[in-house]
Each structure stands twice: as structure tokens, then as C-alpha cells.
Structure 1
Amino acid sequence: MTFSIARSALLAAALVAAPIATLSLAPTPVEAQAFSALRQAIAEAAAQDEALVAFYRDRDFQPVWTVTEAADRRAALMRALEQAHVHGLPIDRYDTEGLRAAFHAATNPYLRGQADVMASRIFLQYAQDVHGGFIDPSTIIPDIFQDLPHRDPYGLMSEFLDSDPHRFMASLPPQSPAYTRLLRTKLELEALAADGGYGPTVQAGSLRPGDTGQAVVQLRNRLMRMGYLDRSATAEYDSALQAAVVNFQANNGMTADGIADADTIRAVNRSVEDHWNEIVLSMERHRWLNDGQVHDRLIFVNLTDFHTRVIDNGEVSFITRSVIGARDRQTPEFSDEMEHMVINPSWYVPRSIAMRSYIPNILAGGSTYMQLLAGGRQVNPASIDMSQYTVSNFPFDLRQPPGPRNALGTVKFMFPNRHAIYLHDSPDQYLMEHEVRAYSSGCIRLDDPHEFAYHLLARQTDDPVGLFQGILATGEETYLDLDVHIPVHLTYLTAWVESDGHIQFRNDIYGRNARLSAAIQSLGVVMPDPAS
């Protein structure tokens, strides 16, 4: 049974005149046949989506969006979709105008059912994107192994229905201060682009204190626009400009000597759009880590920055320089939990490294400080006829015992994972003095491993130094459990914002951001046109 002609005309007029948030889309009273048709329409529209079928089935296929009492729900969804660009999301995938039109056109049971399921699908797409990321990086970069924190669709819909809709939508993006600072910076860069950007690029190969001329003016003006220099009319590379260059270099991971060499000029000449792209990609990377939990402590290894940080309650409480995997042996990106440390560790040599660096010498009769193991038991190299083996069929494992020459140094920090990656000390501390520190076979070497250990242990003992040093002095390989496991993120941020507001940029050492940026741009995530 359909509505009367008079009621249909009144409803149609109301649909045209009323805003979405206040529409009364449910006819009253709903006769049995019409309601049955509505439920059938919802069932048909949801049929290809198992999660939505289960969700609506458990609610007897009743509408959740196209009823009078869902006005706030519709308003919260539409507002979130209209603001999706603020989070750097691909807004075209949500069909905001199509959904608006579907709500307005929902004048019969069939169209109401179609609109209701359409709203649920778009809600789930947006909610998953803004919460856990909108691209699967592993399909683009083989060395990214992040398990995206996408939520169960049924649970997501159910929780939304049981919550204040506006607060729920606001809770979906990462709630960390780091993400909030990135979002704020993104909006500031958009405003700066609309106001002309950074201005003309610096037309010079390099500049140094004492130089004068147009190139110095260009350098001065760009650093002013970036916030590194107060307004000035000087055309000389004076002390104020030198100090600005020092700060710029420090915030871009360069040797901060105040001389605008070729690398510094190249970085200064990057556009607002370049910086915006880096910020947006960092926001997406933060979504990949958004497990929805509040962690009072995190360990954050930023590969592009060559540093390892401990984050306590959102603030950096410890930082140390690090060495990461070489370009041909790249450190993967993934997350896990640190469970224990090993003091006076042995090094069980990975097969790939053994074949490349140790087995050829052993087969040639050279001396080695490595122990040969067969079935976990040490064997004497002198008792073995090495002539019967080659590098490929060498049957023994190699172990380097604890000691001053051990490749892992005096301690390693374990978060057991399938990649055999961990943090550790290193006897090659001279590498920490290099600006670009990509030398390892994939693991993370720490500049201050003992201080790192003390910092972690301070939460479970009153004397972390005494505990650590007492074990170290024994020379025995010892496992020391952490009372509370600590989430570890090995990530790749080329842009972030410090708590003091300073924007940091780093080079794309592995070339990962270039490929990821191309992927998100292909989805329509581009900087807004300042003229629009």
C-alpha cells in the first residue's frame, strides 16, 4: 500500500524545503505492507556486503539513517564527509553529493532503503579511512608490513548507533598530539599557498655569510615566509640570516653550520606543495598506527631521521642516534612489542650474512672467531674436512659469543618478529657521527644503548644502572624481561611537527615516499588550488 496522494505531495514538498539534518523521512503511520517493502529494499541493497547484511538482519532490516530520530546521525556523517579534505582524504570516494541527493529523493520505501544502505556504506568507508588509513602500503612498498587498524564493520556500525554521533565521528582520527600538530600545519600551508607560497626560488648554487645580492634577498625572503626570520630589508648574508639558516638546517636534518650549500639551497627551494604532500603522507602513516588505544609509553624508530625515541604520555622522554639498514638491505616498517633485553648477547649470524662475509674465509682455511654449530652444539673446525663443502651447502650455523668484538655490542632489545629485526649496541660507534646513517643489514644500532636500557628499566627498579651493570659485569648472556611490554613502531616519517611547533623534514632515503605520494595523488589527494 502506498501513501495517499495528498500525503505524498506534502512529503515531497518537505523534502525539497527541509535541510538534511531535520528531514522527517519516516511516514507515520507506516502501514505493514509499506514497511515490509522498506525492509525488503534494505535487504536487497545490502545483499552484496556480508557485514551490512548481518548488521541489518540483527535489526530486522529497519532503517538507521532515514528515520526522523536519525537527524543528528545524518548531520554528523554529512559534516564529516564535507570536512574529509581537512584530513587529507580522497574525498571523491565518498560521493557526498550523491548521498545528499539520495536522502532528498527518499520518498518511497525502495528509495529509502537504497539511501539507508548507501549511507551505511559511505560511513564505513570514511570511518575506516580516517581511522586506519585509505591505502594499503604493502601493495605499493614490499618492505612495509603495517597491519592497518581497520575496525570490524559490524562493531563500527553498532558502536556508532549507541554513541553521540558527533563525538563518535570526532573520535575516529588519531587522537595523538603528533597527528593534531600535522593537521594544523597542513591547514597553515594551505593558507600560505593561497597567499603566494614561499616566493621566488633562490637562484644560486650556494651562499655564505658576507655574500650580497639578489640571491641573498631570495634566500632571506623564503626563510621569512617559512617563519625562520623576522621581516628584514637587508641584502646581505648577515648574522641574522646565518642564524636562520642554522635553524633551517637543523629542522631539515642537515649539518647546521649556517652556510647555504647546494643541499641547503635545494631544501630551501622546495615548494609549499612539496611540504604539504609530505605532511599529508605523514598523517596517513599516523593512521596506520592508530590502534585506538592510549599508550603511556611508545618506542618510535624513525628511519628517515636516524633516531630512536621513547615517547612518554605524548612527549619525547629519550632520544638517541641510530644506524638503519643500508639502501640495498632496507629496514622494514612494522609494529610490535618490546618484551626483553639480552645483556652480553651472542650473535647468531644470519645465513645471508654468513654466506657473504664469513663462510668463504672459513672454507679457505682462514682463522675465525666464530663458533661453528651443528644442531645447536659447538663443533671444532679443525676436525672438519672443509674441502667437501661450498658456500651454498655449508652445513654449520655461525655464532659469535659475547665479548668486546661482538657485532651486537653489549646489549640487544628484543621485540620478536618474523623479520629478525631488533635494536642493539654496536662496536662501530664511529658511524654515529655521520649525517646519513644507513649501514646495517636491517637492524637498528643505537648510539646510547646503555642509557636506553636504564631509561626502560627505570619503571621497574629503583636502581636501573646497578641492575644493568651488575649483569653486564658477569660477561654471561642474560635475558632480562620488561615487566610491561612496550609498543615499538619502525616507521618512515619524512615530515613531523615538534611540540614546540617546529616543522621537521627529512630526505626520502629509501624512495618510499615518492611511490606512496604518487599513489595517494592518483586517488585525488592534491593540495587545494589557492584560486578555488
Structure 2
Amino acid sequence: MPKAVIILLSLLFLFPSCKKAGEANKKPVNTAYLKDTPLPVASGLPEDCTASVKEFYGANGSKTAWTNSACRKALLATIKDAESDGLDPKDYNQDSLEKFEALTSITKEECVQYDILLTESFTKLATHLFKGKLKPRGMYRDWALAPKTLNTNKLLAEGLESHDVGEVLGRCRPKHPIYAGLRKSLKYLDGLPDDSAIDKIEFKKPLKLNDSGAVVAAIKQRLDYWGDLPDEKAKDSLYDHATAKAVKKFQQRHGIYATGIVDSRTAEALNFTRDERKTQIVVNLERWRWFPYDFGKQAIIVNIPDYRLTIVENNKDTLDTYKVIVGKPDRRSPVLYSSINQLVINPTWTIPPTYLTKDLAPAAIKDTAHFSHLNIKIFRGKKEVRVAEWDSLKPDHYVYVQSPGSYNSLGRIKFNFRNGYYVYLHDTNHREYFKKNYRALSSGCVRVEDPFRLAEYVLHDDKDLNREKLDEMVAQGDTQYVGLKKTTPIHQLYWTAWMDRDGLQFRNDIYNLDKALYDKLRK
């Protein structure tokens, strides 16, 4: 073969292979700067984009807004930290946002997609932090709280302008100290070791001072795990004074009378696992996001599972506390917000439908003397009906009113506030019930221990009324209505976990609301 042909063939094979080698070694162009460049977004907005997001970009000149890397990274960090609020970072596009931010080669179209996703994630997270991931009305029939509104576009514009997106999102969280304490509680529980190897307590009889055995050893392990018993005191199986002291501390933290004796309820509380307690923390964080953002200068707060009413001023100062009796599980006290606007001295009691159906009618059908025993009058319209004329087959055709007096179920005073559930605060003719540990005993209204002390607080701005005057009105025996010159806000709320100076606090979920809420949050 001629030498020239050989050279030509060699060149033909050489140049294509050189071209391929050059293409293989060619590096992608770094276009990360496009993330920091304002780009038009109008054509990139998806069809299902929310009106709020469209309005945001309209106000921003229809250009990308997240052109500062510090703002983007602050949002990513806050999304990651959403776990501390009991929220799931995946709900806010965590993985997709992190992949976008890591790209060094990115198109203009991808930058627009990234920017819109950042805005949507900010909006969703801000909304969830401010008023919850779920709507209480979608969970419960008896929750009536004032609606909370949030202008996320205004917040976003402020965060991007100040380059402090994290701080702006942080302001969306409830500002109550209890919410901050719950976040700390969640972090604390996450730091505890796995407790699945600790034996469950098999309760057979109450355990007390000087008892011993394997069950005592298990109790001491649990007390040690939760920090109520020092580690060096938990090595043996003797129920000594240190154990009794630790049991009292544990009982106080769980709303159980502090006897130092492990009864069935204490054993049940000891058997709760760390993960079960985490569930309680998570659902209570969500409930706090539903609750009012600010309780204001003064408020009366009833925590239903704690059987306690608290007077709070300046959103944090506790002035006074009262034991209360709340609704039974099948006659729940509703969660609500209202204002106390009237006192009733020597109130009558109009029998509510539930009490009529489940209690009064069945008892009266057996013996109509039940009406006179309770001093209850029967009415049809405005006309009183004699007991002998009462039709037991149609008990719901009448109105039943209990006359005032010491035997009246509402006691001597009633606190009225507008609500759609026909409930109120009141005194009781069974004050011995306040000695009970379990106090979910009413038909839905909240009974207050020492209600006249509470009345003095409600009336403290009224110079014409005091305790002496109230006592005079009670002694007269007639029903009297006292309109308040200044109303007092009242909040009936439901939380089963919090942290205070005595440590983690847990209460029984008396209405079995926690698990269903947790399951919904994790969907």
C-alpha cells in the first residue's frame, strides 16, 4: 500500500477519536450564578399554583425573588429544624430544595422552578408554624377557637428584604413559654436512650415503703430513666425512702396525688415509653399552634385534662389556680374561646338534652318523685305542667328547670359566656368531688372550686360589688343577674404535656384525642 494512503487512513481514524476524547473531557459550565439572578417567572408558574404565590410574584415584578443564597440556606435550615416543632421536613420539599441548591450547572427554567418551590415551601411552613398543619374543625366537633390569619406574602417580602428569613419564620411560632418548653422537651426526649429493654411493670397490688422484689427493681429502673431517682439509688430492689420520694416526684409530674405509693394509675404512667411520650409532645405542639397567638393582658384558662383553671396576666404571669371538674368522656367539655360577661347568683338550672336523655328521664320514668327530690319544675312553653300530667313517652317535649338553692346542681353562682355549646363555669352542690384525682365527672360544663374567689377577680374593676355584697345576694335566695362592666376572656383548652420548673409534665388523655391527631399529622 502506498505510503500516502496509509498516512491518510491514519488521519481519518485519528481525528474522530480525538474529537470524542475532547467531548468526554469537556466539563459542564458552572451556571450557579443564575440562582442569584432575577429571572422572569410568568411563563414558569404552574397551573395549580396558589393565588397567594401568584400575588407574591405579581408584586415582585414577575421575577425570581430568592436571589440571595443566605436567604435560601436560611429557609433550608429552618425546614430542617421543623422537626423541633414536631413537623416533618419532607412536607416542605426538603429533598428537592437541597438538590436544587447543590446544583452548579442549572438552566434558567430550573432556576425559576427552584424559586417557585422556595416560595411555596416558605408559605406552607409559615402557615403551619402559625396556625397548625391541620384544622381543628376537621378533627373535632367541639372545638371553637378564634380563627388566626397570617399574611405570608408580607412576611416573605420582609424576610427577603432583611436577609433574615429564619428570624421571620421563627416569629410565626406561638410565643407562649409553654410552646418553647415543649420544643425543649422534644429535644430532651430525642436525647434519651432507647427504653424498650426496660421491663414493664406488672401491677398486682400497691407497692410501698420496704417492699422488695423484681417489680420494685423495674420501678426503680423507670424512675432512674426519667430522672426522678438518682442513678446510684436505683441499683437494688428495695422500696426505700429514696424510692418513695422519687415516686412522689413522678406522681406530681403526672397529675397523680403524691402518696409515694405505686398504685395502678402510677404503674400505668411508669409504663409509658419514650416514643409514646414523644407522641404526646408532638400533638401538643400542634394544638398550641391552634390556640390563640396571644392571651393578652388577662385571661382565664381552663386546661381540661389537668382539671385546673388558671388566671394569667400579661400572657405569662400566673395569679391564681383553681381545681375544676370537667365533662365526662361521653359529654366532653368543649375547647373554646369566649368572654365572661355575666354572673348569675342563685341560678336556676335548665336541664340540657344530654342530661335529660341519659339521666333525668330514665330516673323519672321509674319514679316521678325524682322531680320533687331534685326540686325540678316541668314546663311546656311558659306554662308549668303538673308531674301527674307529664307524658313519660315524650320527655323531650318539655323544658325542665331546677329551682335555686343549696341543692341546685349549679350551686350558688354561675359564670355566663357566649358559646354554641350551652356550657358555662359554675359552683356545685357536690364539692366533695374536688377531692377526687379523676375529675372528668360533669355533663360538659366546668365546675369551679371556690367560685366566689373567682367572682371577686372577675369583678375587681366594679367598685359597687364585692364579696360581702355577693354573700348578701346569695342569702336573699332569689335569682339575680349581674352584668359585668368589663368582660374577662376565657379559654377552655386541651393539652396533655408541657414543661415547667418541676420538669416534664404529662396528663392522661381523658378524651383519647392524642393518637388520632398524631396519625393525621404523620400522613
**Contact 1:47–1:53 under 8 Å retained in 2:** no
Q: Retained in 1: the 8 A contact 2:253–2:502?
A: no
1:301 to 2:269 alignment: no
- Paired residues of 1:213 and 1:236 also in contact (CA < 8 A): yes
- Distance, in Å, in 1 between the alignment partners of 2:484 and 2:396 is 37
Kindly indicate whether the alpha-carbon contact (under 8 Å) linking 1:278 and 1:494 is maintained by their aligned counterparts in 2.
Answer: yes
Offset of residue 84 of structure 1:
0.9
Distance 1:393 1:248, change over 3 A: closer
More divergent stretch after superposition (236-245 vs 98-107): 98-107
Instruction: Please state how far the C-alpha of 1:85 moved relative to its aligned partner.
Output: 0.7
Residue in 2 aligned with 1:346? 348
| Among candidates 386, 389, 401, match of residue 389 of structure 2 | 386
Aligned mates of 1:337, 1:285 — CA distance in 2:
21
CA drift of 1:155 comes to: 4.6
> Is the Cα–Cα contact under 8 Å of residues 301 and 491 in structure 1 kept in the other structure?
yes
Deviation at 1:234, TM superposition (A): 4.5
Could you state the TM-score of these two structures normalised by the residue count of structure 2? 0.83
One-letter code of the match for 2:508? N
SS across alignment from 2:30: helix
Is the counterpart of residue 311 in structure 1 residue 312 in structure 2?
Answer: yes
**Counterpart Cα distance in 2 of 1:216 and 1:280:** 31
Letter in 2 for 1:386: E
Corresponding residue of 1:115: 114
Query: Counterparts of 2:241 and 2:113 in 1: how far apart (Å)?
Result: 67
- SS for the counterpart of 1:292 is coil
Shift in Å at residue 302 of structure 1? 1.8
Deviation by residue 1:468-506 (Cα, 9 ceiling, x = unmatched): 3344344343333444443332222221222x1422222
The secondary structure found in structure 2 opposite 1:503 is: strand
1:503 aligns with 2:504: yes
Q: CA deviation at 1:48?
A: 3.2
Confirm whether residue 217 of structure 1 aligns to residue 221 of structure 2.
no
SS at match of 1:53: helix
- What are the equivalent positions in structure 2 for 1:2-21 lying under 5 Å apart? 12-13=29-30, 15=32
Partner Cα separation in structure 2 for residue 155 and residue 113 of structure 1: 21
Q: Matches of 2:322 and 2:84 in 1, distance apart?
A: 33
What does 1:350-389 correspond to in 2, within 5 Å? Answer: 350-358=352-360, 361=364, 366=369, 368=372, 369-375=375-381, 377=382, 379-382=383-386, 386=389, 389=391
Higher alpha-carbon deviation: 136-145 or 359-368? 359-368
Q: Once the 2 structures are TM-superposed, how far is the Cα of residue 334 of structure 1 from its aligned partner? A: 2.6
Whole-angstrom distance in 1 between the partners of 2:502 and 2:34: 46
The Cα offsets for residues 342-383 of structure 1, whole Å up to 9 and x where unpaired, read as 2222222224434555567499864543344455x4x3435x
- Cα pair 1:325 1:331 within 8 Å, conserved: yes
Larger gyration radius, structure 1 or structure 2:
2
Query: What residue in structure 2 maps to residue 191 of structure 1?
Result: 191
User: How is 1:103-502 mapped onto 2 (pairs within 5 angstroms)?
Assistant: 103=101, 107-146=106-145, 149=148, 151-158=150-157, 160-161=159-160, 164-193=164-193, 199-202=198-201, 205-206=204-205, 207-230=207-230, 231-232=232-233, 233-289=235-291, 291-293=292-294, 295-313=296-314, 314-358=316-360, 361=364, 366=369, 368=372, 369-375=375-381, 377=382, 379-382=383-386, 386=389, 389=391, 391-392=393-394, 395-458=397-460, 460-461=462-463, 464-498=466-500, 500-502=501-503
Distance in 1 (alpha carbons) for counterparts of 2:90 and 2:187: 20
Counterpart AA for 2:86: G
Q: Give the alignment partner of residue 73 of structure 1, picking from 71, 76, 81.
A: 71
- AA in 2 matched with 1:48: C
Q: What CA distance in whole angstroms lies between the structure 2 residues aligned with 1:459 and 1:85?
A: 45
Residue identity matched to 2:299: L
- Look up the SS of the partner of 1:187 in the other structure: helix
Whether 1:88 aligns to 2:89 is no
Measure the CA separation in 2 of the matches of 1:299 and 1:490.
8
Q: 2:14 is matched with which residue?
A: none
Using the TM superposition, give the Cα deviation of residue 255 of structure 1 relative to its aligned residue in structure 2, in angstroms. 3.0
* Alpha carbons of structure 1 residues 359 and 508: separation in structure 2 relative to 1, 3 Å: closer
1:48 aligns with 2:49: yes
User: Using the alignment, how far apart are the partners of 2:155 and 2:128 within structure 1?
Assistant: 13
User: CA contact under 8 A between 1:41 and 1:114: conserved in structure 2?
Assistant: no
The DSSP-based 3-state class of the residue aligned with 2:467 is: helix
CA distance in 1, matches of 2:459, 2:356: 33
Q: Which residue of 1 aligns with 2:35?
A: 25
CA distance in 2, matches of 1:95, 1:474: 67
Contact 1:342 1:477 in 2 (8 A): yes
| Aligned equivalents of 2:359, 2:263: Cα separation in 1 | 38
Three-state SS of the structure 1 residue aligned to 2:256 is coil
Question: Matched residue of 2:338: which SS?
Answer: strand
Percent identity over the alignment?
A: 25
24 and 394 in structure 1: CA distance in 2 versus 1, 3 angstrom threshold: closer
Q: 1:305 to 1:153 in 2, by over 3 A?
A: same
Contact 1:198/1:222 (8 A) holds in 2: no
- Count of equivalent residues: 488
Look up the equivalent residue of 1:53 and give its one-letter code. Answer: K
Q: 1:451 to 1:465 in 2, by over 3 A?
A: same
SS in 1 for 2:322: strand
One-letter amino acid of the counterpart of residue 141, structure 2: P
Q: 1:293 to 1:438 in 2, by over 3 A?
A: closer
**Partner AA of 2:215 in structure 1:** A
1:479–1:90: structure 2 CA closer, same or farther, 3 Å change rule?
farther
The 8 Å contact of residues 302 and 309 in structure 2, kept in 1 or not, is answered as yes
Aligned in 2, Cα 1:26/1:234: closer, same or farther, shift over 3 Å? closer
Q: What is the CA deviation profile of residues 262-314 of structure 1, one whole-angstrom value per residue up to 9, with x for unaligned ones?
A: 3322321221112121112111111111x333523232222222222222331
2-side partners of 1:161 and 1:211: how far apart? 64
Return the offset for 1:173. 0.9
C-alpha deviation, 1:395, in angstroms: 4.4
- Cα distance between partner residues in 1 of 2:279 and 2:124: 22
Call closer, same or farther: CA 1:219–1:365 in 2, change over 3 Å. Answer: closer
Residue in 1 that maps onto 2:20? none
For the residue of structure 1 that corresponds to 2:192, the secondary structure is helix
Cα distance, 1:122 vs. partner? Answer: 0.6
Distance of 2:461 and 2:285 partners within structure 1: 31
What letter is aligned with 1:51?
Answer: S
Structure 1 residue 162: Cα displacement: 6.0
C-alpha separation between the residues in 2 aligned to 1:95 and 1:328? 40
CA contact (8 A) 1:333 1:492 kept: yes
Counterparts of 1:371 and 1:504, CA distance in 2: 45
Query: SS state of the match for residue 224, structure 1?
Result: helix
Deviates more, 1:210-219 or 1:243-252: 210-219
CA change 1:166–1:516 in 2 (3 A) is closer
Question: Equivalent residue for 1:64?
Answer: 65
Contact 1:133–1:148 at 8 Å: present in 2 too?
no
> What are the ranges of 5 or more consecutive residues in structure 2 without an aligned counterpart?
1-25
Q: What's the CA shift for 1:512?
A: 1.4
C-alpha distance 109-424 of structure 1, shift in aligned 2 (>3 A): same
Q: Which amino acid aligns with 1:495?
A: A
Please state how far the C-alpha of 1:422 moved relative to its aligned partner. Answer: 1.3
Q: Is the 8 A contact 2:178 2:499 kept in 1?
A: yes
- Residue 97 and residue 344 in structure 1: after superposition, are their counterparts in 2 closer, same or farther (change >3 A)? same
TM-score, length of structure 1 as denominator length: 0.82
SS at match of 1:318: strand
Deviations 1:317-356 (A, max 9, x none): 2222211112222222233333332222222222443455
